[in-house]
Structure 1
Amino acid sequence: MRRDELLDAAECLLQDQGVQALTLSAVAERAGVSKGGLLYHFSSKDALIKGMVERLIAEFDALVEAQHESTYTRAYLAATFEAVETGRLRRWAVVTGAAGDPALLAPLREAMARWHLHGLEDEPDPVASQVVRLACEGVWEVATHSPGIVDYGAVKRRLLDLL
């Protein structure tokens, strides 16, 4: 069984049953492998959560990189709305909710610092770029908890206007 399939099983378990249901035995059962098979890839529950957080960061980095935009902020904005539209956002809420230990979220804090500081000196208006990046964080938060209350297309257009 591949590592990503184990991470998928853990994320599905979290989404379906909540953080209290996230045990190595439950993940192994959900994935259809022995607990030993799971332990081969993830030596502990914390290692599993860390793996989920690291995968989310890598996937968002790849999503930003895949955008064909003129600036990093435009790519970050496009990636954010693509994540919202494709449902990838739900994974963020589920995984970050599982990380009860702040140390498990350290890679996410480091990634956020990188995302918010990257290339600001190359932006036409660095302050507007920071405002847009911070607004994207608000989009993630609202789309996670109350997705139906925002016209995302209108918000995206207004944020693009700021740039």
Structure 2
Amino acid sequence: MRRDELLDAAECLLQEQGSHALTLSAVAERAGVSKGGLLYHFASKDALVKGMVERLIAEFDALIESQRETTFTRAYLAATFEAVESGRLRRWAVVTGAAGDPELLAPLREALARWHREGLRDEPDPPTSQVVRLACEGVWEVATQCPAAVDYATVHRRLLELL
């Protein structure tokens, strides 16, 4: 789909050159389309960044669903560590770093609130489940900023033990 190709091009630019390089012209050139072709899908740079954030959320939702064998928090934990191992979390840092306007991260704030609400529904010990989900978000941060600082297998195992 052309929309995903445009988002891929934008993410690549961000990863390789930083947020200063994210311009509509550069994304269009990277994707091999005209600027008008890009504007058909994303009317502005803000719309492009919002599209990247929304895609990351949808991908994480899909990871959670693919892991959904018991409780939501166990699925959230499994999805988090799958994202760490696959390198997907580095994309979060790149994309969210490009969002200069806090309003562009509103979909992420809404997703976090939804994930935390969902995590309270089917848990035998809701406070412990919430601690595990919050720890997952700490793992996200470390995995994007200093990935070699953590023994992820040990952390994953200990969080599972808490549940």
TM-score w.r.t. the length of structure 1 is 0.98
Tell me the amino acid that sits aligned with residue 129 of structure 2: S
- Contact 2:93–2:144 at 8 Å: present in 1 too? yes
Computed over aligned residues only, the root mean square deviation of the Cα atoms, in angstroms, reads 0.9
Question: What secondary structure is seen at the aligned counterpart in 1 of 2:70?
Answer: coil
Partner of 1:27: 27
Are 1:3 and 2:3 counterparts?
yes
Segments of 4+ in structure 1 off by > 6 A? none
Deviation at 1:68, TM superposition (A): 3.7
| 1:45 alignment partner in structure 2 | 45
Measured in 2, the distance between the counterparts of 1:25 and 1:52 equals 17
Q: Which residue type is aligned with residue 85 of structure 2?
A: E
Task: Measure, in 2, the Cα distance between the counterparts of 1:84 and 1:47.
Answer: 27
Q: How is 1:48-67 mapped onto 2 (pairs within 5 angstroms)?
A: 48-67=48-67
**Separation in 2, partners of 1:48, 1:66:** 27
Unaligned runs of 5+ in 2: none
Q: 2:55, 2:85 → 1: CA distance?
A: 19
**Offset of residue 19 of structure 1:** 0.4
Q: How many residues align structurally?
A: 163
Identity of aligned residues (%): 84
The one-letter amino acid paired with 2:102 is: P
User: Where does residue 146 of structure 2 map in the other structure?
Assistant: 146
Letter of the structure 2 residue corresponding to residue 120 of structure 1: L
Question: 1:121 — aligned with what?
Answer: 121
Q: CA separation in 2, counterparts of 1:70 and 1:87?
A: 25
Equivalent position SS for 2:62: helix
Structure 1 residue 122, shift from structure 2 partner: 1.9
Distance 2:23 2:121 in 1: 45
SS of the aligned residue for 1:69 comes to coil
TM-score by length of 2: 0.98
Q: Tell me the CA shift for residue 119 of structure 1.
A: 3.8
Q: Which runs of 5+ in 1 are unaligned?
A: none
Name the SS for the 2:133 alignment partner: helix
